[in-house]
Amino acid sequence: MSNQLLPEDEVVLDYLVRLLGESGSAVEEELPPGCPPWAKQAFQVQPFRIGKLCFAVPARQLQGAWALEGKIIPRSEQPEWASGQVKVAERWVWVVELAGLLLSGTTVAEPASWILLPRTRELGLLCCGVEKLCLWQPHEVRWRSERIRRPWLLGMHCGFPFPLIDVECLIADLKP
């Protein structure tokens, strides 16, 4: 995880990569099967933990990651999948345990202390910890070409034992 970029560094990297492509000096490599269009170039991921297991999500799918500072408040009207509501960045969001979504039937002894906020929905995903953003190359991931069973699993990093999770697909069936 030494390839860490700040958001402003990502803009510079993207600019440099486009310059190389325009000059004709960059040789376009064939993408691995199953590689999504947004991963044609280096992309940032947000690593996170559930217990001792490490996962990652494309940073482009997240608004951000916040430390869980308040108590999760169960509500009588809450959706079946929700653990309750918590205030994050001055707004109330429903939260769901990622352990229950990714590792159905498994309980994790370590309490959730972080919230990942997806871009597409007003809900939070509870996890045990987050690491610094890092940069992955498309060829470093063993992409899944068929996503019938566990469609939220995009692939696995070849160097780190991190499954790459499609958060948008994971939460698509949840109805807040």
In whole angstroms, how far apart are CA 141 and each of 61, 81, 166? 17, 30, 14
What DSSP string runs through 66-128? EE--S--B--TT--TT--EEEEETTEEEEEEEHHHHHSTT---SSPP-EEEEESSSSEEEEES
Q: Does residue 137 have a pLDDT over 90? A: yes
Q: Does residue 176 have a pLDDT over 60? A: no
- pLDDT tens-digit readout, 53-63: 999 999 999 99
pLDDT of residue 107: 74
**By percentage, how much of the chain surpasses pLDDT 70?**
82
d(CA 111, CA 103): 15
Question: Which has more confidence, 22 or 126?
Answer: 126
Do residues 116 and 124 make contact, with C-beta atoms less than 8 angstroms apart? yes
**pTM here?**
0.78
Going from N- to C-terminal start, the domains of the chain cover: 7-171
**pLDDT (mean) for 86-102:** 88
Q: Of 3.40.50.1820, 2.40.50.180, 2.40.50.100, 3.30.1360.180, which CATH number belongs to 7-171?
A: 2.40.50.180
Least confident of 12-16, 47-51, 85-89: 12-16
